[in-house]
Structure 1
């Protein structure tokens, strides 16, 4: 199963005694003299499944103890136009639309606030702020969306996707790795280059390539010559490992680190030491848990165990790709089939649940039957998907029989009210009628719009992605699911600014009484953002194809 048990690292060079006094709540109580340390949570104050684009600070699309969904009962709770990746915290959904950054009530999709002045994506929540990038890093107040601070890095290009962890914001700008203070955006430290020692002992110095991740008390980044782990407080190198060329994204869990690189196979490394653990095929990379890495090639989609072989499996499919989420004991993935496919099309445009141990199918949900699409987030009991430019919140239908009928409260003896059920369930907020049936051509859609640095947001994107823009999940095209078909790394989950499907949410146009972009039950948009919605929607005569 795509494995080669060779050690790619030159050994860990632990930085002793550096400490993490300024790194995260509770860090001072931990033994931080020997990093990496899997007990050090990047954001210990958060108890959320998906507080950052692509999940957490590791950007691995991994929910450790996720809810087990029943696909047969999933329905749309609400929908809203959007253009980027998603973060969810404290019952609030953060994403981007054509009109800027928005915060939505997770219960019904109503607008909490909107900031139309910010062109940024890839939301990541920590403390009192939500952090986004779109060139410079910008921190918005979570309460009202006002700007708390904006970095002054003056990037020549759009920055790579950022990581918020250990009271800092870590980002690569024009080949330089910056650590910014989360509270005010000041530079904690910066590294213009890094020196990596090759297998034969040669030292190579090079700039950083896009993408960062944080886990185990360290920050992971890469150069053209290797993957490195740094102390987030000081920037000291904890370990480094050599590889042949730099990539566009990096992802981490407590056990493994993988970087997207050009080539037919990608190495993944031990998160604690940097030792090489194995190889995976290059497409649909960017999803890993503590036990396995998911990836695809042109003739199969499968799982590779990080240790041993308990999680090794492969689906016999051709030119079928998708950016998965590992949640609990299940792999959830929206599959799409490349136009050149000539084999099994069973999973084309379907949301599929697979057993993470053996790949056996638990359930499937077709785009012809429900508003499914590339997975933007999984949080609590909701799967957020991108369906033709709309963010759809999928939840299991509620049992209305268990809910008291308020209309009968004053008539306790009316047991024969057989017609009383009419109208019940009219406020199910199904939203499915907003989605229309299957959308041909969706296979060409840029995955999740997470343009996650081309990486991540190559969320779906395979390695080799050439988009170094900001990531997923909303990233700027959400590379999240950067559909990679056939060797092309899509701009994935995490690609924010390029998700163009947004402005075509026309399913709601006919209902003048409803707020544009929202299903029944959604509240009114406020201020200039709402007016602009109305203006844009009124100008659309027919649904776009």
Structure 2
């Protein structure tokens, strides 16, 4: 049970040593150092969307996500019937027949388990965890059942959280902490006693929904939200307000409890102090700076620090228009739909829209009439997964090959490529000629994968490229030897030379691409936008004989002689 703490200490290094978090673990009674944003719920993961709502906070928030330019097409399409998790180039979801694992590159089915009636996949370690009745853990390699809880729920469960080597779930009003490796009960809380400021106490059962962030687990009752030590179940802090609902959402900065009513309060994630309220519809999207929500007469963003009228406080003038957003990088992505009561502007009805997260200005829109867009199920690397009329569609940016008449429907591996690249490369190529969001080079690199001779850095979608040397310089002048940080979610790249910059950006999030990006600020882009940019250094892949040719040796010699470490 102490394993999550050990990995967290390794992941956060000196910061945790300074904060004295060594007391956290099995049976630990000291909780003065909790919550702490340095404690990652799943430090072994480096994914944008490893759980069914993004991460263990369920907030639909990707601090340093890829910036899409709006020229989207379907890379592949499959039938599906549920939420989505993506990890290690594998998509986990459900169909009418059961749980499936799909190859993220082309949608090929890797395995299916038709005997499990469960949903909401969440990946950690060697397993994918789902809920429905009891919690079930499947082997990620073949979909076989590793364990199933024996809690005998009276109703279908929902909103489980996988974090800190545990699975946290509310079943029939009781909050359970299960061991992730075998499903045994670590601890349970049948009820919670919430005390008001004037000393009044109320005891009540837990409402459905949990979340994990900052080294703690968040859960709610009808009388308040509470933060618990994940190892012992000890209460860290609690609020006094009717919350109810069936969802808890958390980031490093704030915690939001889903409930009915005109307004929904949200709280400081470290202290439990009230920060403000948001509108009641389409909630559940929470960043480190803002919460996205809607009412019948507007859709917008609320600063979580209550500085109304400042950055992150904005509203779109729409009526009866809704959509569950994703905050990714500097952009809010949302698929809008309008109900039959909309008597005003319907311009955003059935459109995938990208909005600036700071002021709500429109970056681009894609209509359902022009592309198979729909409700966003996940964003991972350079792919937006949407539900389009009951099908899961993987949307990626159009490629040069597509513009020249290659595969029209974006399916991978079906047509020959004129440039001789392997199947699937056409869907993730350089989009520098099609960038239309005003950011210039800041968004150009993240989709250049697999082409011979290219050296690029991507956000989780490099598959099988041997010998790549990632760089995030952002220039196109071919400066040899720039070795800067890349997002460590690149999978399958043998021989990558990269480092990870864990510095904190303006949102308080980890900046995975900070090295060598000084020249990119001329376009007004931020760290979150820039962490995928490449420097255009001539590429020598393994197939081109980097280490076996005189040209490759000469290039290496020149790089060693001429280059300084990345800034």
What is the TM-score of this pair, normalised by structure 2? 0.67
State the alpha-carbon separation in 2 of the partners of residues 113 and 245 from structure 1.
40
**Aligned twin of 1:228:** 226
State the alpha-carbon separation in 1 of the partners of residues 164 and 48 from structure 2.
18
Identify the structure with bigger relative contact order (alpha carbons < 8 Å, sequence gap 6+). 1
**Aligned twin of 2:33:** 34
**Aligned twin of 2:100:** 102
CA RMSD of aligned residues (A): 2.3
Question: Displacement, 1:70?
Answer: 1.0
- SS for the counterpart of 2:239 is strand
Deviations along 1:282-332, whole A, 9 cap, x unmatched? 000000100000011111000000123321000000000000000000000
Deviations along 1:207-250, whole A, 9 cap, x unmatched? 00000000000000001110000000000000000102422111
Shift of the 351–402 alpha-carbon distance from structure 1 to 2, 3 Å rule, reads: closer
Question: Displacement, 1:26?
Answer: 2.2
**Aligned twin of 1:473:** none
Shift of the 321–269 alpha-carbon distance from structure 1 to 2, 3 Å rule, reads: same
- Aligned 8 A contact 1:76 1:429 in 2: no
Alignment of 1:442-457 (within 5 A): none
Q: Identify which of 266, 270, 282 aligns with 1:272.
A: 270
**Aligned twin of 1:310:** 311
Question: Displacement, 1:399?
Answer: 2.1
- Aligned 8 A contact 2:4 2:42 in 1: no
Alignment of 1:107-506 (within 5 A): 107-307=105-305, 308=307, 309-400=310-401
State the alpha-carbon separation in 2 of the partners of residues 378 and 138 from structure 1.
25
Shift of the 422–130 alpha-carbon distance from structure 1 to 2, 3 Å rule, reads: closer
Shift of the 401–230 alpha-carbon distance from structure 1 to 2, 3 Å rule, reads: closer
State the alpha-carbon separation in 1 of the partners of residues 107 and 253 from structure 2.
35
Shift of the 399–190 alpha-carbon distance from structure 1 to 2, 3 Å rule, reads: same
Deviations along 1:13-32, whole A, 9 cap, x unmatched? xxxxxxx8343442356333
- Aligned 8 A contact 1:249 1:259 in 2: yes
What is the TM-score of this pair, normalised by structure 1? 0.70
Shift of the 163–422 alpha-carbon distance from structure 1 to 2, 3 Å rule, reads: closer
Question: Displacement, 1:201?
Answer: 1.3
- SS for the counterpart of 1:46 is coil
Deviations along 1:341-374, whole A, 9 cap, x unmatched? 1011000000000000000000000001100000
State the alpha-carbon separation in 2 of the partners of residues 401 and 75 from structure 1.
10
**Aligned twin of 1:457:** none
State the alpha-carbon separation in 2 of the partners of residues 173 and 227 from structure 1.
17
- Aligned 8 A contact 1:21 1:27 in 2: no
State the alpha-carbon separation in 2 of the partners of residues 106 and 348 from structure 1.
29
Shift of the 193–401 alpha-carbon distance from structure 1 to 2, 3 Å rule, reads: closer
Shift of the 223–386 alpha-carbon distance from structure 1 to 2, 3 Å rule, reads: same
Question: Displacement, 1:200?
Answer: 2.3
Long gaps (5+) in structure 1: 1-19, 406-419, 431-545
State the alpha-carbon separation in 1 of the partners of residues 43 and 424 from structure 2.
38
Question: Displacement, 1:402?
Answer: 12
Moved over 4 A (4+): 420-430
State the alpha-carbon separation in 1 of the partners of residues 363 and 316 from structure 2.
14
Question: Displacement, 1:160?
Answer: 2.2
- Aligned 8 A contact 1:25 1:45 in 2: no
State the alpha-carbon separation in 2 of the partners of residues 138 and 222 from structure 1.
23
- Aligned 8 A contact 2:139 2:146 in 1: yes
Question: Displacement, 1:428?
Answer: 9.3
Shift of the 344–156 alpha-carbon distance from structure 1 to 2, 3 Å rule, reads: same
Deviations along 1:102-130, whole A, 9 cap, x unmatched? 00000000011110100000000000000
State the alpha-carbon separation in 2 of the partners of residues 342 and 255 from structure 1.
37
Size of the aligned set, in residue pairs, is 395
Shift of the 379–401 alpha-carbon distance from structure 1 to 2, 3 Å rule, reads: closer
Deviations along 1:117-146, whole A, 9 cap, x unmatched? 000000000000000011000000000000
State the alpha-carbon separation in 1 of the partners of residues 202 and 402 from structure 2.
67
Question: Displacement, 1:422?
Answer: 13
- Aligned 8 A contact 1:24 1:165 in 2: no
